[in-house]
Structure 1
Amino acid sequence: MAMQIQTGTSELKDVTKMERIGAHSHIRGLGLDDRLEPRQNSQGLVGQAKARKAAGMILKMVQEGKIAGRAMLFAGPPSTGKTAIAMGMAQSLGQDVPFTMIAASEVFSLSMSKTEALTQAFRRSIGVRIKEETELIEGQVVEIQIDRSLTGATKTGKLTIKTTDMETVYDLGTKMIESLTKEKVLAGDVIAIDKTSGKVTKLGRSVAMSRDYDAMGADTKFVQCPEGEIQKRKEVIHTVSLHEIDVINSRTQGFLALFAGDTGEIKPELRAQINTKVADWREEGKAEVVPGVLFIDEVHMLDIECFSFLNRALESELSPLVVMASNRGMARIRGTKYKSPHGLPVDLLDRVLIVSTKPYEEEDIQQIIQIRCQEEDVSLTPDALTVLTSMSKQTTLRYALNLISCGRVLARKRKSENVDVEDLRRAYTYFMDEKRSVQWLKEQQGTLVFEEVGVEGRKDEVMDTD
């Protein structure tokens, strides 16, 4: 909502919410139709039809709860949309299925061991859908009567609620009066009160009061007056992750650690107890386990100990679907002197479904640039779009996308709304891409600090160390 702030004498400015435009903020889903066939350009994703279809098939199985404890690897060159497809999966899953996204280097933290960091990521990705019955009082408020004592310390009152079939008067205590006041409940509102917790939820305003203009706001929602009895039993479903249950039951931390983020290491005995309890709830029909998705980006940055842990963790009963991404070819496995495809050990690769992504075609690149221009609210001239597309083929797609916002700044400087070829050329001279940076280093001829010249053997030796 816009807010007016006075700065100085009579200058007024509109302060609106600040929009954060990220590298993948344009992605809304996987862009698949009902038959899981990929559209050419949909929901922010372009091209990579095979990879998107594979992700959609896996996603369908996750939503049906038919796949868990499996691993999947997106392998392809940089700037081919591996992380973008993972973000599309996260958007398509919905709120009820947990999705955790980590970079492999996050595991190497000083605050906890590598295996603890991976265990917490695994348990964040498994949801527990807990069902419980609660008693609700639901109806339309006919009248609220509040009486205060002479000192104002104590409050008593009566609340009259009705449905289409019956009407009841309830006596109110101080806490209930405060809850109703906080929710700004008036006569004519339709409310629901949870009897166990005393929580008051305002469902909307009764349709019968739609002509009462004095009590209406811009966002007033009208609902029908409830039918049947005022007091009803309803089944309420809460979805929490296993990690949240771990933290809440950890005596040293408590539930406040969920907000602080500093959960620390959790004892394995506690986790074993929670697993047993969840298994009991499943047998009794009180809870349902929802395996989600854990996405590990730049997975080649994990070391041999982490890979060994992943092998074991994927076989456990409570395990999510693990999706990994790597842009390495034949690379050394961290912590060893052996090389392996994608930097992953062969025994882990044997368990993994590998999906390859390939470099984008020129037509796809042009559509991606147009999508990013819409997201960043930038207008490119047709010539500038052609130049930027060819520039991305010569350099990289990421470099070309970075020049969009730089070009807008230069266009505004010459008081133009559209970014033209001239702006992109100037931005190209200001910022170097990787190839020109390497060329510039060669031209310096050893003038940079700590640069080794003509010691090829030493360079190879440095590269081979961990």
Structure 2
Amino acid sequence: MAMQITTGTSDLRDITKMERIGAHSHIHGLGLDDKLEPRANSQGMVGQGKARKAAGMILKMVQEGRIAGRAMLFAGPPSTGKTAIALGMAQTLGPDVPFTMIAASEVFSLSMSKTEALTQALRRSIGVRIKEETELIEGEVVEIQIDRSLTGATKTGKLTIKTTDMETIYDLGTKMIDSLSKEKILAGDVIAIDKTSGKITKLGRSFARSRDYDAMGADTKFVQCPEGEIQKRKEVVHTVSLHEIDVINSRTQGFLALFAGDTGEIKPELRDQINTKVAEWREEGKADIVPGVLFIDEVHMLDIECFSFLNRALENELAPLVIMASNRGMSRIRGTKFRSPHGLPVDLLDRVLIVSTKPYLEDDVRQIIQIRCQEEDVTLDDESLNVLTAMGMQTTLRYALNLISCAHVLARKRKSDTVKVEDLRRSYTYFMDDKRSVQWLKEQQGALVFEEIEGNEDVPMDGST
């Protein structure tokens, strides 16, 4: 007896789309014009004109394929837009150029070695654009005839397709009949059939049949009837990353391993074979390499072994552009006793183009607060905006941005849609910024546990020895 699987209640519910607002969800690009000059306020980006222009120049070189295997470092104090610029770069590159974003701490995983985690991140950032020629049948469906046998076991049929120039009748097998019924193909639909795979794509409904029905669905798309030959040869281009090719070839379940997530360590011999095969495809003109971008945030958290590996990996023929971000000054390189600028070894710094980010000016802070208010659908009056801008200058920008949603909650409790100064003041008393937190610790006068470390003043911030 088959077991019945229940999925909870069967009540009809109104499903509404929930849009999650992230810390950088307001950023849609770098905000540069055609001459790579930064606009004052564009695409969610404000200020940092010099850093944005440098990022735009680098992107131009990435798109021309001229900067693979180089490295770039965004260095500056916290809350100066380093991650925001990186996300702006990702948005500008578009979906075709691979962009991988990791935090340096992710490398220290229990399931794989540090070098394997970095290798996978590097190979995720290199795309292979594969070109294939395929035969397509493209046209408007004139008629579908399906004949079933008396028992219903076998089905045969005929499909009449036309373009503006010609009309052809095709005999259909059982699988094609099933595919047509599954895609709900009707007379008057414009379709494309891939001859090699048998895949049917519904392109839309013909303009000539637009008046067949009085009422049509809102998602009905009308297209022109195709011109010329019904059978055409087309070049299909699809982009996959080198890591995806590695995973597909390293597991018995093939491409299903991509959905499993747990890829584990991949043998270097397999990667060498894939690199050789990709090189052959490039020579034959079947594929192009698309060097992407790997962004490593908080790069000072990597240790000396990772830095040595990165030095070597950047010299590899298949290497992406590596962008790093650090908010450290002179700090100790993890795994050594040596101090170095930004926590990076000098030999790696020598390869890196360094871009500095500076603290925001008062006008920049005001504009960023206004953008975040629009993103979070919060209304501030003029006085509240001035007070919050002053808070951002005295404390930190992140603290001021965090108070927006807190003050909005307090305003709604007052049955008001506009945030007033009193809401900001109450939020300010509920939540401390870092300076007031330090002051509070001093006032406790040793009441907290484990406050002092005697005889070891130079304890590293990252907790490593």
Q: How does the TM-score come out when normalised to structure 1? A: 0.95
The count of corresponding residues between Structure 1 and Structure 2 is 456
Looking at structure 2, the residues matched to 78 and 7 of structure 1 have their Cα atoms a distance apart, in angstroms, of: 50
Q: CA deviation at 1:193?
A: 0.2
The answer on 1:357 being equivalent to 2:357 is: yes
Structure 1 match to 2:28: 28
Within 5 Å, give how 1:312-351 maps onto structure 2.
Answer: 312-351=312-351
**1:162-207: CA deviation from partner (whole Å, max 9, x where unpaired):** 1111111111122212221222211111100001111111111111
Structure 1 match to 2:293: 293
Structure 1 match to 2:3: none
Looking at structure 2, the residues matched to 83 and 163 of structure 1 have their Cα atoms a distance apart, in angstroms, of: 51
Percent identical among aligned pairs is 86
8 Å Cα contact 1:300/1:343 also seen in 2 = yes
The answer on 1:460 being equivalent to 2:464 is: no
Looking at structure 1, the residues matched to 135 and 363 of structure 2 have their Cα atoms a distance apart, in angstroms, of: 58
One-letter code of the match for 1:64? E
8 Å Cα contact 2:362/2:389 also seen in 1 = yes
The change in CA–CA distance for 1:229 and 1:13 in structure 2 (over 3 A counts) is closer
One-letter code of the match for 2:371? I
Q: CA deviation at 1:157?
A: 1.6
Looking at structure 2, the residues matched to 429 and 238 of structure 1 have their Cα atoms a distance apart, in angstroms, of: 55
SS in 2 for 1:439: helix
Within 5 Å, give how 1:150-299 maps onto structure 2.
Answer: 150-214=150-214, 216-252=216-252, 254-299=254-299
The change in CA–CA distance for 1:123 and 1:438 in structure 2 (over 3 A counts) is same
One-letter code of the match for 1:165? D
The change in CA–CA distance for 1:84 and 1:70 in structure 2 (over 3 A counts) is same
Looking at structure 2, the residues matched to 395 and 28 of structure 1 have their Cα atoms a distance apart, in angstroms, of: 27
Looking at structure 2, the residues matched to 148 and 423 of structure 1 have their Cα atoms a distance apart, in angstroms, of: 73
Structure 2 match to 1:120: 120
Looking at structure 2, the residues matched to 437 and 149 of structure 1 have their Cα atoms a distance apart, in angstroms, of: 82
Q: CA deviation at 1:153?
A: 3.4
The answer on 1:390 being equivalent to 2:375 is: no
SS in 2 for 1:131: strand
Structure 2 match to 1:451: 451
**1:82-104: CA deviation from partner (whole Å, max 9, x where unpaired):** 00000000000011110000000
SS in 1 for 2:111: coil
Looking at structure 2, the residues matched to 164 and 94 of structure 1 have their Cα atoms a distance apart, in angstroms, of: 36
Q: CA deviation at 1:215?
A: 7.1
8 Å Cα contact 1:129/1:289 also seen in 2 = yes
8 Å Cα contact 1:126/1:289 also seen in 2 = yes
8 Å Cα contact 2:334/2:464 also seen in 1 = no
One-letter code of the match for 2:166? M
Looking at structure 2, the residues matched to 68 and 286 of structure 1 have their Cα atoms a distance apart, in angstroms, of: 21
Looking at structure 2, the residues matched to 146 and 407 of structure 1 have their Cα atoms a distance apart, in angstroms, of: 65
Structure 2 match to 1:430: 430
Looking at structure 2, the residues matched to 415 and 300 of structure 1 have their Cα atoms a distance apart, in angstroms, of: 47
8 Å Cα contact 1:253/1:263 also seen in 2 = no
One-letter code of the match for 1:71? A
**1:203-241: CA deviation from partner (whole Å, max 9, x where unpaired):** 111111122235732122211111111111111111100
Looking at structure 2, the residues matched to 120 and 252 of structure 1 have their Cα atoms a distance apart, in angstroms, of: 19
Looking at structure 2, the residues matched to 459 and 147 of structure 1 have their Cα atoms a distance apart, in angstroms, of: 88
Q: CA deviation at 1:458?
A: 3.0
Looking at structure 1, the residues matched to 313 and 248 of structure 2 have their Cα atoms a distance apart, in angstroms, of: 23
**1:273-323: CA deviation from partner (whole Å, max 9, x where unpaired):** 000011111111110000000000000000000000000000000000000
Structure 1 match to 2:6: none
Q: CA deviation at 1:13?
A: 7.3
8 Å Cα contact 2:188/2:209 also seen in 1 = yes
Looking at structure 1, the residues matched to 271 and 376 of structure 2 have their Cα atoms a distance apart, in angstroms, of: 45
One-letter code of the match for 2:422? E
Q: CA deviation at 1:150?
A: 3.4
Within 5 Å, give how 1:57-76 maps onto structure 2.
Answer: 57-76=57-76
Q: CA deviation at 1:432?
A: 0.8
One-letter code of the match for 2:177? I
Q: CA deviation at 1:68?
A: 0.3
**1:6-52: CA deviation from partner (whole Å, max 9, x where unpaired):** 999xxx97431111100000000000111111100000000000000
Looking at structure 2, the residues matched to 460 and 32 of structure 1 have their Cα atoms a distance apart, in angstroms, of: 44
One-letter code of the match for 1:162? K
8 Å Cα contact 2:159/2:170 also seen in 1 = yes
Looking at structure 2, the residues matched to 461 and 58 of structure 1 have their Cα atoms a distance apart, in angstroms, of: 38
Looking at structure 2, the residues matched to 21 and 318 of structure 1 have their Cα atoms a distance apart, in angstroms, of: 36
8 Å Cα contact 2:332/2:460 also seen in 1 = no
The change in CA–CA distance for 1:461 and 1:89 in structure 2 (over 3 A counts) is closer
Structure 2 match to 1:399: 399
Q: CA deviation at 1:251?
A: 3.3
Segments of structure 2 that go 5 or more residues without pairing to the other structure are: 1-8
Structure 1 match to 2:85: 85
SS in 1 for 2:23: coil
Looking at structure 2, the residues matched to 161 and 462 of structure 1 have their Cα atoms a distance apart, in angstroms, of: 73
Looking at structure 1, the residues matched to 10 and 436 of structure 2 have their Cα atoms a distance apart, in angstroms, of: 46
Structure 1 match to 2:5: none
Q: CA deviation at 1:357?
A: 0.3
Looking at structure 2, the residues matched to 312 and 127 of structure 1 have their Cα atoms a distance apart, in angstroms, of: 20
8 Å Cα contact 1:103/1:298 also seen in 2 = yes
Structure 2 match to 1:3: none
One-letter code of the match for 2:249? N
Structure 2 match to 1:133: 133
8 Å Cα contact 2:251/2:257 also seen in 1 = no
Looking at structure 2, the residues matched to 186 and 414 of structure 1 have their Cα atoms a distance apart, in angstroms, of: 57
The change in CA–CA distance for 1:125 and 1:316 in structure 2 (over 3 A counts) is same
Within 5 Å, give how 1:141-152 maps onto structure 2.
Answer: 141-152=141-152
